[in-house]
Structure 1
Amino acid sequence: MTRTLLCTLTVLALLAGCSKPRAPDKERPVEPQATQLRDAIQAPIEQAQAAQDEAVKAAEQQREAIEAATGH
């Protein structure tokens, strides 16, 4: 009898622990989890893109200066 009661209480305790999770509050937006990692990855990429844009502008200015100097 005590063994059956103990097993029943154990099963009920385990079932109570397996309840459905609550839905998140809709009023508060979910905060991004990987913001710092994303920023750490994006920073050098953005820096390289800016450097590439500067290199393209410098090449265009050089080409215009050469054309102006040679008359072509």
Structure 2
Amino acid sequence: MSRSLLCALMALALLAGCSKPKPPDKDRPPEPQATQLRDAMQAPLEQARQAQDEARKAAEEQRAAIDAATDASSN
């Protein structure tokens, strides 16, 4: 009898320890948790965009230089 009473009290104590989670504050939005992962993924993409812009500018400058050299030699 004492074992079943002890088990019942233990079960009751364990159940009493569980409580409903508190809702988040409505005044303060939750902290973003994926910022480090997002930043780690966006950094190489941003570097690739910058490299693409630099390559595009270099190609435009090269075309302008070729056009200028062609115009100068044809005159």
Do the two structures share a fold, i.e. TM-score over 0.5? Answer: yes
Query: Match for residue 47 of structure 2?
Result: 47
- Long gaps (5+) in structure 1: none
1:7 and 1:36 map into 2 onto residues whose CA distance is 46
2:40 and 2:4 map into 1 onto residues whose CA distance is 58
Q: Sequence identity, in percent?
A: 75
Larger RCO, structure (CA 8 Å, separation 6 or more): 2
TM-score normalised per structure 1: 0.73
Structure 1 residue ranges, 4+ long, deviating more than 3 angstroms after superposition: none
Matched, 1:69 2:69: yes
TM-score normalised per structure 2: 0.71
- Long gaps (5+) in structure 2: none
Letter in 2 for 1:33: Q
